[in-house]
Amino acid sequence: MLAQSLKRALIGKPIENVRAQEERLIKTLALAVFSSDALSSVAYATEEILLILVLAGTAALYLSIPISLAIITLLAVLMISYRQVIEAYPNGGGAYVVAKENLGHKFGLIAGASLLVDYVLTVAVSMAAGVAAITSAIPILHEHRVGVATFFILLVAIANLRGVRESGKIFAVPTYSFVTGLVLLILFGGFQYYSGHAFVGTGKIVNTSLEPITMLLILRAFSSGCAALTGVEAISNGVQSFKKPEAWNAQLTLVFMAIILGSIFFGITVLARVYNVVPSTSETVLSQLARGIFGTGVIYYYIQATTALILVVAANTSFSGFPNVASLMARDGYIPRQFANKGDRLAYSNGILALAFFSIALIVIFGGETHRLIPLYAIGVFTSFTLSQLGMVRHWQKGRGRGWRRKAFINGLGAVVTFIVLTIISITKFTHGAWIVVIFIPILILAFLTVRTHYTNVARQLSLSNFRDPKPNNNWVIMCIGGVHCGTLEALRYAKMIASNGNVNVIYVNPYESEPVDIINKWERFGFKTPLEIVKSPYRDIIGPIIDRVKQIHQEHPDDFITIVVPEFVCKRWWEHLLHNQTALILKARLKFQPKVIITSVPYQLS
- Residue 251, exposed/middle/buried by CB under 10 A (0-12, 13-18, 19+)? buried
The least confident of 87-91, 207-211, 317-321, 355-359 is 207-211
Angle between helices 64-88 and 215-225 (to 10 degrees): 50
Tell me the range of 139-143, 378-382, 494-498 where mean pLDDT is highest. 494-498
The confidence score (pLDDT) of residue 215 equals: 86
3-state secondary structure 57-121: CHHHHHHHHHHHHHHHHHHHHHHHHHHHHHHHCCCCCHHHHHHHHHHCHHHHHHHHHHHHHHHHH
**pLDDT per position as a tens digit, 497-533:** 888 777 889 999 988 888 888 999 999 888 878 899 9
> Which bin fits 368, alpha (ψ -120 to 50), beta or left (φ > 0)?
left
CB atoms within 10 A of CB 384: 29
CA gyration radius, the chain:
32
> Do residues 356 and 157 make contact, with C-beta atoms less than 8 angstroms apart?
yes
Task: Check whether 1 has a pLDDT greater than 60.
Answer: no
Cis amide leading into 245 (omega within 30): yes
> Do residues 445 and 100 make contact, with C-beta atoms less than 8 angstroms apart?
no
Helix or strand or coil: residue 107?
helix
pLDDT-derived band at 407 (thresholds 50, 70, 90) equals: confident
> Do residues 429 and 379 make contact, with C-beta atoms less than 8 angstroms apart?
yes
Q: Which residue, 473, 442, 438, 461, is CA-closest to 559?
A: 473
| CA–CA dist 127, 355 (Å, integer) | 13
What the chain holds in terms of domains, given with CATH numbers, is: 46-455 (1.20.1740.10), 475-605 (3.40.50.620)
Mean per-residue pLDDT for 185-193?
A: 89
CB-based contacts of 488, cutoff 8 Å, min separation 6: 481, 567
| CA–CA dist 75, 382 (Å, integer) | 12
> Do residues 285 and 156 make contact, with C-beta atoms less than 8 angstroms apart?
no
> Do residues 436 and 106 make contact, with C-beta atoms less than 8 angstroms apart?
no
Q: How many residues does the chain have?
A: 607
Average pLDDT, the chain: 83
pLDDT-derived band at 206 (thresholds 50, 70, 90) equals: very low
Name the strands in the sheet holding 475-481, side by side, starting at the edge strand that comes first in the sequence: 532-536, 504-510, 475-481, 561-570, 597-605
* Percent of the chain at pLDDT exceeding 90: 20
Q: For residue 356, report the phi and psi dihedrals to the nearest 5 degrees.
A: -60, -45
Task: Check whether 354 has a pLDDT greater than 90.
Answer: yes
Parallel, antiparallel, or unpaired for β 504-510 and 597-605?
unpaired
Helix or strand or coil: residue 265?
helix
CB-based contacts of 598, cutoff 8 Å, min separation 6: 561, 562, 563, 564
Task: Check whether 265 has a pLDDT greater than 90.
Answer: yes
CB-based contacts of 116, cutoff 8 Å, min separation 6: 322, 325, 326, 380, 444
- In one-letter notation, the amino acid at residue 580 is H
Task: Check whether 255 has a pLDDT greater than 90.
Answer: yes
| CA–CA dist 100, 86 (Å, integer) | 16
Mean per-residue pLDDT for 20-32?
A: 74
pTM: 0.75
Helices within 205-278 (DSSP H only): 215-225, 234-237, 246-274
> Do residues 71 and 361 make contact, with C-beta atoms less than 8 angstroms apart?
no
pLDDT-derived band at 307 (thresholds 50, 70, 90) equals: confident
CB atoms within 10 A of CB 133: 26
| CA–CA dist 243, 249 (Å, integer) | 7
The confidence score (pLDDT) of residue 164 equals: 60
pLDDT-derived band at 208 (thresholds 50, 70, 90) equals: very low
| CA–CA dist 252, 341 (Å, integer) | 29
Task: Check whether 152 has a pLDDT greater than 90.
Answer: no
**pLDDT per position as a tens digit, 555-580:** 888 888 999 998 888 887 777 777 77
CA 264 remoteness from chain centre? 28
**pLDDT per position as a tens digit, 41-94:** 888 888 888 988 888 887 788 899 999 999 999 899 889 888 888 888 887 767
| CA–CA dist 148, 139 (Å, integer) | 13
Task: Check whether 415 has a pLDDT greater than 60.
Answer: yes
* Percent of the chain at pLDDT exceeding 70: 90
